[in-house]
Structure 1
Amino acid sequence: MNSPDVWTPIDPLGEALHFLRMSGTFYCRSEFTAPWGLDLPPMPQCLMFHVITTGQCWLEVEGEAPQPLQPGDLALVSRGEGHRLVSTPGATAAPLFDLPREMISERYEVLRQGGGGANTNLICGAVRFDHPAAHQLIQLLPKVIRIQPRPSPHTDWIRDTLRFMAAEAETLRPGGETVITRLADILVIQAIRAWIERDSAAQSGWLGALQDRQVGRALQLIHRDPARTWTLATLAAEVAMSRSAFAARFTELVGVPAMHYIGRWRMHIALTRLKESHTTIADLASQLGYQSEAAFNRAFKRYIGVPPGTARRQADAA
């Protein structure tokens, strides 16, 4: 009998968080003096974050009230929307890519800007999530998540991590870029966990379904083995429910019927693999349980909107 993987979370929500593996697009240390303003463009499929290490600023996202950020605050702009960081609300903001920068490495840089007044230092970054479970989760997040660690046993380590990150950014010793990027990844995941724990919106929809004992288990099975020939009957049997009761509960909690969810999940996995590897479309069809490449192509176009060959060419061009 095979022993379980001790690193695999045993709860469906924990497993979804386990898939939040990030690939960094860029990280930077920003050194600003008032008055200053930074206009960040939209970055589709990315999550952007800002850590305030010294000074203060305002975060402006369209459709949201301006939010003040203080030292130790962590702000996530979860869907890659364009936004502004400014010394005072309404201040003129320079486009990100118009600013002079000091390139420390391919993915780490230092930005400097301002009029010589009060200092504000930030650590900023944009990260991308590649797993379909991560995409599903990110779409459910609010536009902005703001974490303000307050002294408590649950948040002391966050404040300590932010201080450690600030010290590394200040000196950038050998290996400092690696330390900062790893700490940033952890902080982003912790911020998402904090939102799930405190926001009622996380108790409904797909996230709520993951926390349901039976539907959550069914989702976990689908995520782990998407190529299996799933039917309503086999899924219902796995979670000890009748076929009709399971079908109704799945649709109620997830928002789509189980078989539609399975098809869509497979195609999102296929889209990720098309972008990341040179696997042939025929091999991909086989890996996801399709008996023919033609059947796979039809399913892919139905869910994604374009044939798989087109999706691969678009990804290569991007």
Structure 2
Amino acid sequence: MSAFAGLLDGPRARGAFLIRSILEPPWSLRIQDRAPLTLVAVVRGSAWIVPDRGAPGTGAASTTSGASAATAVPGTTAPRTSAATAGTGAIRLGDGDVAVVRGPAPYTVADDPATPPQAVVQPGGCATTPAGEDLCEALDLGVRTWGRSPDGPAVLVTGSYRSPGEIDRGLLAALPPLLVLSSGDLDSPLVPLLREEITKDAPGQEVVLDRLLDLLLVSVLRAWFARPGAEPPGWYRAQRDPVVGPALRLLHDNPAHPWTVASLAARSGASRAALARRFTELVGEPPMTYLTHRRLALAADLLREPGSTVEAVAGRVGYASPFALSTAFKRVYGASPRAYLSDPSPGGSA
């Protein structure tokens, strides 16, 4: 398994928040649900996404593919759109475009960047007025659908992962705060299919929607990394490096093996020093640090399987004992494996 395939194998939505929004202008939704990752697809009309530039991390480059973006977003080359969007980092989504927003920083989705928020989406998915009054019942339009009128010209489908544990942390770290893929670059039937399935109330429908959200995320990211002029992260480019590529594949194919830099170097046909230097330069961290993070990400996923124990998972990801896994897990994730299972949103980074 390649490093890229390994990361894309990570998304595992579990009871994801999915909603269809039918909106009439002027409309503006302030999103502060603290979701680690959210997909927003425009299935009719258009929308603007405005990052909260006062929040940590949102000043980083947002990336677009065929969408209209304000020049204030560092690293983009789209023409200036208007005085209203200058300096906001706002990005316009057209019919069929999909945005991926990395949390937990808040952001706004609106018909126009200048429209003040009329509703605030809170953790858990319920909406309130900016003053805190509940809007869930007032905006209810049926199964997983909300808005003020069923005939609104703008229709969005939104899916949010509720927990960081549902997505590989390496994948989260590789993504910009906001990326947009145009409909022309996403050759997939998944958005129309999700649009149709989101309003069904059939047995097991939550599982169907979870899997569709995972598939859509994988499809969007695969297309985003493959687009012309893409600037993928170092680990993605490193897969084709004659020295680092073989080492990455070894780590992903058999993460439980007792690897050392020396054994990786021998299997990769390079000296220990050359591999360590090249790996750190391209991937952004030393080989053994990368392996630790990979093992712990796998452990976090395996721990959620029914009947899993810390002891069994420790052996599957390369730790000699449950204690060794728990120590490493707590150092990186900020909580023991058992505490993580009860609340998979502690501090720590991988």
CA distance in 2, matches of 1:82, 1:243: 44
Asked if 1:17 corresponds to 2:41, the answer is no
1:129 and 1:135 in contact (8 A); partners too: no
Is the counterpart of residue 266 in structure 1 residue 295 in structure 2? yes
Paired with 2:342 and 2:200, the residues of 1 have a C-alpha distance of 39
Distance 2:6 2:114 in 1: 42
Deviations 1:216-269 (A, max 9, x none): 332222223222111122211222222222222112222222122222322333
**Structure 2 residue 217 is the aligned partner of structure 1 residue 188:** yes
**Higher RCO, Cα 8 Å, sep 6+:** 2
Q: Cα 1:228–1:62, aligned 2, differ >3 Å: closer, same or farther?
A: same
Q: What displacement does 1:72 show? A: 1.7
Contact 2:13/2:161 (8 A) holds in 1: yes
CA-CA distance at 1:174 after TM superposition? 6.4
Which of residues 80, 83, 90 is equivalent to 1:66? 90
Asked if the contact 1:48/1:80 (under 8 Å) is kept, the reply is no
Kindly indicate whether the alpha-carbon contact (under 8 Å) linking 1:165 and 1:180 is maintained by their aligned counterparts in 2.
yes
- CA separation in 2, counterparts of 1:129 and 1:296? 21
- How far residue 172 of structure 1 moved from its aligned partner, in angstroms, is 4.8
Cα deviation, residue 34, structure 1: 1.8
Give the distance between the partners of 1:211 and 1:164, measured in 2 at CA: 34
- Match 1:56 to one of 46, 58, 68: 46
Aligned partner of 1:233 in structure 2 is 262
Question: Unaligned regions of 5+ residues in structure 2, if any?
Answer: 54-87, 129-134
Aligned to 2:154: 120
Residue 182 of structure 1 deviates from its aligned partner by 5.1
Alpha-carbon distance change, 288 to 15 in structure 1, aligned in 2, over 3 angstroms: closer
Query: What TM-score do you get using the length of structure 2 for normalisation?
Result: 0.70
Change (3 A) 1:102 1:224: farther
CA contact (8 A) 2:262 2:272 kept: yes
Structure in which a larger fraction of residues adopt strand: 1
Offset of residue 207 of structure 1: 2.2
TM-score (structure 1 length as normaliser)? 0.76
Percent identity, aligned pairs only? 29
2:17–2:161 CA contact under 8 A, matched in 1: yes
Equivalenced residue count is 295
Cα-Cα RMSD: 3.5
- CA offsets, 1:180-231, max 9 Å, x none? 66554433222212221235431x4222223424323322222232221111
- Find the counterpart in structure 1 of residue 78 from structure 2: none
* Residue 26 of structure 2: aligned partner: 35
Instruction: Report the residue type matching 1:201 in the other structure.
Output: E
Match of 1:257 among 273, 286, 291: 286
Following superposition, the deviation at residue 117 of structure 1 comes to 9.3
Per-residue CA deviations over 1:22-44 (Å, capped at 9, x if unaligned) read 44512111111122222222334
Per the TM alignment, residue 68 of structure 1 is displaced from its structure 2 partner at its CA by 2.1
Q: AA paired with 2:182? A: Q
> Is the 8 Å Cα contact of residues 19 and 198 (structure 2) preserved in structure 1?
no
The 1:23/1:217 distance shift into structure 2, 3 A limit, reads: farther
The separation in 2 between residues aligned to 1:42 and 1:81, in whole angstroms, is 9
For the 8 Å contact 1:12–1:211, the answer to whether it is kept is no
- Aligned partners of 1:234 and 1:255: how far apart in 2? 20
Structural mapping, 1:1-318, within 5 Å: 11-23=2-14, 25-45=16-36, 47-63=37-53, 65-91=89-115, 92-96=117-121, 97=126, 98=128, 99=135, 100=137, 101-102=140-141, 104=143, 109-113=144-148, 119-127=153-161, 134-150=168-184, 155=186, 157-158=187-188, 161-163=190-192, 165-166=194-195, 168=196, 172=200, 183-198=212-227, 200-202=230-232, 204-315=233-344
Unaligned 5+ segments in structure 1 are 1-8
